[in-house]
Amino acid sequence: MFWEIERKSIFLKKIYNICCSNKINMLLSNFSKFILETGTDEAGRGCLAGPVTAAAVILSPTLSKGERAKTDTIKFLLEQLNDSKQLSEKTREKLRPIIESQAISFAVTHLHPNEIDEINILNASMKGMQECILKLNLTPEFIIVDGNRLLNAKLGLKTTFGKQFSKTEIELLKSIPNQSIVKGDSKYMSIAAASVLAKTYRDEYMNVIHEEFPMYNWKQNKGYPTKEHREAIRKYGVTKYHRMTFRLLPEQLKLDI
């Protein structure tokens, strides 16, 4: 029995190494049996400044099959697509227009600091993905969500800022079956594609507001809690783009607001 298990383990390792050496994408194209399956993800949850950005993507389940897979563009997508955190900035930027051109439908949403501060970052992340679903030009038949929380949790939160969901929109979101998948962005193509769009759109936004407040170097740190970013907060104070409910400095110092 032991040797049988050992042989299977060696065999699986060989298959994995062959796939890696040939750049075969290990991501799955579909979780459910539905054609219009949407993957959702977000970027920027841990940042001190800027929006949390969500994306939703519907890819064709036959994207990796047939003649389409023989084009250089599709090959690049299939070989390189992965969790955005595992990709270089250059690769993400190359993938973005390919994802957009090959998607059946896609949507991106920014939720800004005032809304994050009002409903907290977890709820804001989920609301952003919910908004993306409503923006799609096709109604999904099934939704897969990166993480451990179903997409239709906490629907219709009343907020001072941002979009207010109508009763019809809430009922629509409730009606679509969905599944949360831990580390889904490294398992399913549509979630990985959503992670790339969320990351690239958010980075683009941070590059724009960097020009308004260059002293925080958001073009480089994208609003994350780097030592440089926190030193700039200590020196210059906070801006309208900072999340005031976050611990902006390691010490509990009073900031000029």
Q: pLDDT tens for the chain, 257 residues: list them.
A: 444 534 544 444 444 444 443 444 579 999 998 999 999 999 999 999 999 999 999 998 777 665 556 688 888 998 999 999 999 999 999 999 999 999 999 999 999 999 999 999 999 999 999 999 999 999 999 999 999 999 988 898 888 999 999 999 999 999 999 999 999 999 999 999 999 999 999 999 999 999 999 999 999 999 999 999 999 999 999 999 999 999 999 875 555 55
First to last CA, the chain: 67
pLDDT at residue 11 in the model: 44
Distances (CA, A) of 257 to 234, 237, 241, 248, 254: 12, 7, 12, 12, 9
pLDDT at residue 250 in the model: 83
What is the longest distance spanned by two Cα atoms in the chain?
68
The closest alpha carbon to 206, from 40, 46, 47, 41, belongs to 47
pLDDT at residue 8 in the model: 42
> Which are the contacts of 249, defined by CB distance < 8 A and separation ≥ 6?
230, 233, 234, 255
pLDDT at residue 17 in the model: 45
pLDDT at residue 252 in the model: 52
pLDDT at residue 68 in the model: 59
pLDDT at residue 13 in the model: 44
